[in-house]
Amino acid sequence: MRRNDLYRGKPRGYYDPSPAEMFFAELGREIFKETEDKIHKTQMTSEEWNLYCNTASKCVRVGTVWGPKRIDDFTKDEQRVMKLFLDRRPEDQRSP
């Protein structure tokens, strides 16, 4: 049986998230956690904070009707933020 045919021990349903969608959702949560920890204006500029929040929002919406469909749907700055957070992860957790 293929890996995508099972989801938590049972057949994947139509609405179950794919491994790539779960990867982006986890990445988005990591970015949101960073913005929650740095809400004071001296820790992060407003522009930087907004960029991080927009990136995280797009990441958690991957796979939904309103979410990004391709990596090209992220701006260059948003891709830079994602790379920054992926570089913090251990080598074996950097791809879905």
Write out pLDDT tens, residues 28-83. 999 999 888 877 767 888 899 999 999 999 999 998 888 999 999 999 999 999 99
Contact by Cβ (8 Å): 94, 86: yes
pTM (two decimals): 0.79
Average pLDDT over residues 2-17: 66
Kindly tell me if the per-residue pLDDT of 95 is higher than 70.
yes
For residue 6, the model assigns a pLDDT of 55
| pLDDT at residue number 15 | 77
Task: Report the pLDDT value the prediction gives residue 1, as an integer from 0 to 100.
Answer: 41
Which of 78, 76, 33 has its CA nearest to residue 59?
78
Any idea what DSSP says for residue 93? G
Sketch the domain layout of the chain as residue ranges.
Answer: 18-93
Query: Cβ neighbours of residue 36 under 8 Å, at least 6 residues apart?
Result: none
Minimum mean pLDDT among 7-11, 24-28, 51-55, 89-93: which range? 7-11
